[in-house]
């Protein structure tokens, strides 16, 4: 079972790489086909590490690993997918129609939010690889 350290390191590195990747995708392409890497904002990328720590810690903060069956709603794959859709929808809010991915990740706030979501997702994926797995929904319906 992944422990706090594994979740934290995976989440922080996921958010860092995701943020840098999104920043890179937004850099203008120079006439020679390259991108001006000096425009990468490493302050934003390091902020993403903090956001990643929070995102990767959330599932176990909300449902502490106090028993082998602690994974419920906040560890569910449907919540992870649903919140990803919600985060993307939030990042699209107020932007023009005919959006492309660059429009969605064009501002630092959206990139940090998506990096945090990627970290949250990394937690669910790590837990999904264990014998207990993660629930589809995690709610008792009756």
Binding site for Zn ion (CB under 5 A): 59-60, 127
Which of residues 8 and 87 has its CB atom nearest to Zn ion in the complex? 8
Query: Shortest gap between Cβ of 123 and Zn ion (angstroms)?
Result: 6
**Which residues neighbour 8 within 8 Å (Cβ) at sequence distance 6 or greater?**
53, 56, 57
Query: Shortest gap between Cβ of 56 and Zn ion (angstroms)?
Result: 9
* H helix runs in the chain, sequence order: 4-26, 42-62, 77-92, 101-104, 108-128
Handedness of CA 107, 105, 23, 84 (dihedral sign): positive
Which of residues 44 and 127 has its CB atom nearest to Zn ion in the complex? 127
Which of residues 52 and 59 has its CB atom nearest to Zn ion in the complex? 59
Query: Shortest gap between Cβ of 17 and Zn ion (angstroms)?
Result: 21
């Amino acid at each position: 079972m992944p422990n706090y350290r594994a979740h934290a390191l995976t989440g922080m590195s996921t958010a860092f790489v995701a943020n840098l990747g999104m920043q890179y995708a937004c850099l203008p392409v120079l006439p020679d086909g390259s991108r001006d890497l000096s425009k990468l904002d490493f302050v934003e990328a390091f902020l993403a590490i903090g956001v990643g720590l929070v995102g990767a810690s959330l599932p176990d903060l909300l449902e502490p690993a106090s028993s082998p069956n602690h994974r419920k709603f906040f560890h569910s794959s449907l919540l992870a997918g649903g919140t990803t859709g919600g985060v993307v929808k939030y990042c699209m809010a107020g932007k023009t129609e005919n959006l492309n991915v660059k429009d969605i990740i064009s501002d630092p706030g959206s990139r940090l939010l998506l990096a945090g979501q990627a970290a949250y997702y990394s937690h669910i994926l790590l837990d999904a690889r264990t014998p207990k797995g993660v629930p589809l929904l995690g709610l008792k319906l009756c």
